[in-house]
Amino acid sequence: MLFAIYNGVAAVVAWLLTPMSKATSRKVTHSISLLLGGLGLLSIFFIRDQYMLIISMIGIGFAWASILSIPYAILTSALPQNKMGIYMGIFNYFIVLPQIVAAAIIGFILKSFFHDHAIYALIIGGVSMAIASVGILFVKDKA
């Protein structure tokens, strides 16, 4: 159910990203979305009522909608048209490779530092999204 909620939120938020970006900027919109996602992931650790997890999923849905679109929009405005395909392919490597590395080492990290408590993987993700919400503000956006 929670998976459906965050994906439903992402589908709705996807329609709101353009007006939000026009009201602020793509960077600020993405930063806010990542921060909401980070808070959503972090809040799972503290929530004890299963129905309150819906609030966590709303934040994660915001982040997911933004993650799937805004970085690509920022990148395409900075690329030469004749090399777009090559650079987008390279960009996708930098999305997939960290996922592979994380999948390969998260088990070791959880076992070594967190006594196999998987909730700490969500905390690491939440902190990482919060850091990324600040980092995106330093990216040049030509829009």
The DSSP annotation for the chain comes to -HHHHHHHHHHHHHHHHHHHHHHS-HHHHHHHHHHHHHHHHHHHHH--SGGGHHHHHHHHHHHHHHHTTHHHHHHHTTS-GGGHHHHHHHHHHHHHHHHHHHHHHHHHHHHHHHTT-THHHHHHHHHHHHHHHHHGGGS----
pLDDT at res. 21? 97
pLDDT at res. 45? 97
For the chain, the average pLDDT equals 96
Mean pLDDT of 8-25: 97
pLDDT at 143 over 80: no
Domain ranges of the chain: 2-80+118-138
The DSSP annotation for 6-39 comes to HHHHHHHHHHHHHHHHHHS-HHHHHHHHHHHHHH
pLDDT in tens, 65-118: 999 999 999 999 999 999 999 999 999 999 899 999 999 999 999 999 999 999
